A and B are shown apart, each in its own frame.
Chain A
């Protein structure tokens, strides 16, 4: 069979193909990615969409955890101060109930307890980044303000709402307790018990001082119980932070597996493609101008 005497289409196709291979290899080496457009690998591209969304989620969860963790730690340390303030109040109450104090000393003790009450209230009004920690979800209102009408001398302006923050796909952590539960609970009011102790010390009645001190003691154990909530939240957040760090690493590994390129292979492919391309060009240059005419010498 006669072969096609016109070599041009074959040569063009060969050059084009070797150039396309060279371009692909070059692109893979320069970008470090084996998938630049979805058609390069549709399944990997679809997985990448999910991976990108998950990475974004994990980043946000990580931010949530670190933001909330500081807040919970602040609240926890505030409750720690309250606990030590209450302990101090109990020892003052015990001293007042001993019956060995002069009236002036009793008044001094009462004033000290009053000071403790104020410091507890200031802890209860603690804010973190402009939001009150113990006002429920009414974070822009000062939780406790002085009020003559209230038996404890302070009235609660917050609400009973609690916030949960998502720190994982199916995991959210409750991050606050309302002040109404911690400080002015109807059965175990911290502020109420301190204010009762102040009035008892002012009155000087040993029996009532003793019972008021017991009240403060009960309030102390109650606050300690409430504090456990923040400790739990803190440890939960810490372990979630570790998990999220691992998740970030595994997502980025998955990303590399999906669209990344093996540099050694890519570099080898590139150098092969370069060789093939120059071979195609060299062959074309040699073959195209050669005809029988080149060998016919002009007659002398």
Chain B
């Protein structure tokens, strides 16, 4: 046998062993000689099918990579919803649908309906309710109500400092200059600071949604690249391990979230303070911030409270059947209990 087939795939013979006499004898063809194979590398093992296998594997990896990147870019909400829907709603409903199918003689529709209602209401409500509250708060209380309370307090401090010396026409510029100063101190050159401030001002003045989105991205990138240039600085809270983090007076923030908060604050509060012109004073600043802080507290607390109440109420929505449908089909065994309950009820009467 001059060719060896293993698992239907041909290996090329690398070497033949045997004595010289054996090789040259007339019986050479009948002599079973030990054949040595070099174990080929994985990539060279399957000359034909290997290509298809590798291509398929690569395609699968690319697809997984693409899906995962999409999930990550959508944030925790998308991740949770994908996990919730693909991991809970579908398999649980499927199992409930076939629950006690043999005993019942048909699929367990009631159990499937309960399972689907419960799962479809539980997961998404944990995000959709708070999301709805935040969207409503922007309309009712202005975009600054989207700014986290600790950031709002810090921004108030900064506004208070810059408004006193401001001529007020360039309040936004003074505000952002102070913000950038607080983040980078003397670590970057004045020119670099000016570039960042100008980017922030463009974002502040942007009107269309697209413009805001693009400029948000641009400012975020500028801050990240500045962080990279700095490298590691413990005092400023900047690290190469995560250059998308900045530190504003002790508060560590994600750059993207921070830029969004800056825009939400300045397009609302700074504009309101600027509108007061020369009549601006501490009382006005206090009043605006008290309003925004109160609104923020109210919105987040009521959002979580509403969501919690809704979650508590969900069993009322899915428990439409008097009896637990998971026991349907097992009921014959349940007769004794039913009889007992009926007797108890009669006795009570």
Task: Tell me, yes or no, whether A binds B.
Answer: no
**Residues of chain A at the chain B interface (Cβ within 8 Å):** none
**Residues of chain B at the chain A interface (Cβ within 8 Å):** none
